[in-house]
A and B are shown apart, each in its own frame.
Chain A
């Protein structure tokens, strides 16, 4: 049997390219004309709330779902219509889908045996070593813990050396601590084997921890794509601003859109936003600032920031979360803004009802068009 997977060894890694990929189901469109290029060897995350089309996209790449239109290429080869068992692509399924009637060794060997590979046993032993399950080869999947099953699922896919490894919410069934440990583990293995990983998740922290590039999906389209820092520091849509971490979004009106700084009137205060962070140049907009970038000081005291002072705030809520204290500050125009302050111990924690001034460095703010829903992506964040 000649499989395209063999070319991974001879021809080197190839980019995965999705072009105008669309999937319509009877009652809704899951993926709308998606264009995407995943560089070979990268750790790529598709991030979005449930129902955003990320899993459907993954299943189309795996061949488990047929696209309505568009194409999928690996390097120069089109694989849009290729049968799943002929693609050099393997999947780590959500809930793992391990074969319950086969032991761990045979689960991992499954793909190699189907392809008629020689010295399967040796390779399986090495793979089980990589995922640290050497002693468990003769156990059956139901006898193992969730974390162990997860690693078996990973080994079962990785052993085939696919050009692209697809991970469908692979850590979703694990508890928080184990999930954090596995994130680091996955990243280590990806670096070690150097394969292209496409990781689907709704957990923004998971995506940011592991991925080189994140594509944020919503309603079947990609909202924004970039490195974790890029997406977090300079979101282009309210959805990204709210879904990836939290944001204060304040209504404002652009007063001058020329030059390398956009000036915006925000409830009577002039704020300036660097042009590359302003995603609208005229009319109304949302001024965005991340809560940890907002500085708080009791009214009248100096704040260590070159930006404008916003006076007249009152603290309406204080939550102490250990590493930081999270304040809610009611501003004169009625909106409550979030401000997260590191607990450096430099100053006592401010109390509920304290009158405060706020400030932030202008280079941290961003400006989004006013026609976007200010609450987009906020509800999914629980």
Chain B
């Protein structure tokens, strides 16, 4: 059988269909929702009136939560990057025969539900839990100090939940680095620190970029951690969108906020990739 000119396109078809049904159509629907007439309700029905002002209303009203989402997600991503790099580096270069075991440990939390894991953090960080008790005994925290319902708890929850997404791509790119390159650097007068900064770190950039994206994007849209570990003062934009959709029934505002969040994230990712210059890396 002669290989047709369109074989490549045929092979793309399943993925294209999938994307069409589960991304393009919902996205179109979301975009349409964001342009509903804000006067509509479940009883009177909704009309697409291209009411662009929905966006200004949603952004100005929920500016705090939008900003907080980006700052929590950014902080969580930075902490994940620092912790994840150390962990991935240790697994890739120092773990020896424990390497596979440690990798399984990194993935192990996925065997339990996201919700259950976050709920258990609620117990760990509780006001009468051992963490708070210990900190108070050591006078690192005041008598009425608490962890739950603080930004620390929410960010810690985000870090915990998204750390594997940082570790795995970082490990994949660190593990590929040829040990002889590091030897060559030390042969060429680079101290271990210089060798790391000039050779290992640049060569692991693809993993670091992938890891930060895989961490930042879901973290910015997350609402479980804020809901379970935070209070009304730690509400993230995800919590607002959820409320608007399910409780208030203000579909137009919810849609506008969703599209806004998406646009901000896409914008940040584009700037980030440009800055990180991953297309130049191998």
A residues whose Cβ falls under 8 Å from a Cβ of B: 3, 5, 62-64, 83-86, 89-91, 93, 95, 97-101, 110-111, 114-115, 142, 156-157, 160
- Report the count of interface residues on B (CB-CB < 8 A): 20
A346 to B174, CA, bound (A): 66
- Which residues of A have CB within 8 Å of B189? 3, 5, 85-86, 111, 114-115, 160
**CB-nearest residue of chain B to A59:** B183
A193 to B198, CA, bound (A): 29
Interface of chain B: mostly helix, strand, loop or mixed: helix
Structural contact, B203 and A85, CB atoms closer than 8 A: no
The reply to whether the CB of B282 lies closer than 8 angstroms to some CB of chain A is yes
Structural contact, A85 and B178, CB atoms closer than 8 A: no
A85 to B190, CA, bound (A): 6
9 smallest CB-CB distances across A and B, nearest first, come from A111-B188, A114-B189, A97-B184, A97-B180, A84-B186, A85-B189, A101-B202, A114-B190, A91-B187
The reply to whether the CB of B156 lies closer than 8 angstroms to some CB of chain A is no
Structural contact, B180 and A114, CB atoms closer than 8 A: no
The reply to whether the CB of B185 lies closer than 8 angstroms to some CB of chain A is yes
A160 to B184, CA, bound (A): 13
Identify B186's interface contact among A5, A64, A98, A157, CB under 8 A: A64
Identify A90's interface contact among B188, B195, B282, CB under 8 A: B188
Structural contact, A160 and B282, CB atoms closer than 8 A: no
Structural contact, A101 and B188, CB atoms closer than 8 A: no
- Which residues of A have CB within 8 Å of B184? 91, 93, 97-99
The reply to whether the CB of B25 lies closer than 8 angstroms to some CB of chain A is no
- Which residues of A have CB within 8 Å of B180? 93, 95, 97
**CB-nearest residue of chain A to B202:** A101
- Which residues of A have CB within 8 Å of B191? 83, 85
**CB-nearest residue of chain A to B189:** A114
Structural contact, A85 and B186, CB atoms closer than 8 A: yes
- Which residues of B have CB within 8 Å of A100? 181, 203, 282
18 more contacts with CB within 8 A, not counting A100-B203, A114-B194, are A64-B183, A84-B187, A85-B186, A85-B187, A85-B188, A85-B189, A85-B190, A97-B180, A98-B184, A99-B181, A99-B185, A99-B199, A110-B185, A111-B189, A114-B190, A114-B198, A115-B189, A160-B189
Interface centre among A63, A89, A97, A115, by most chain B C-beta atoms within 10 angstroms, is A97
The reply to whether the CB of B281 lies closer than 8 angstroms to some CB of chain A is yes
8 residue pairs A–B, Cβ–Cβ below 8 Å:
A64-B183, A85-B195, A93-B180, A93-B184, A97-B180, A97-B183, A100-B282, A101-B281
Chain B, 167-216, CB within 8 A of any chain A CB: 178, 180-181, 183-191, 194-195, 198-199, 202-203
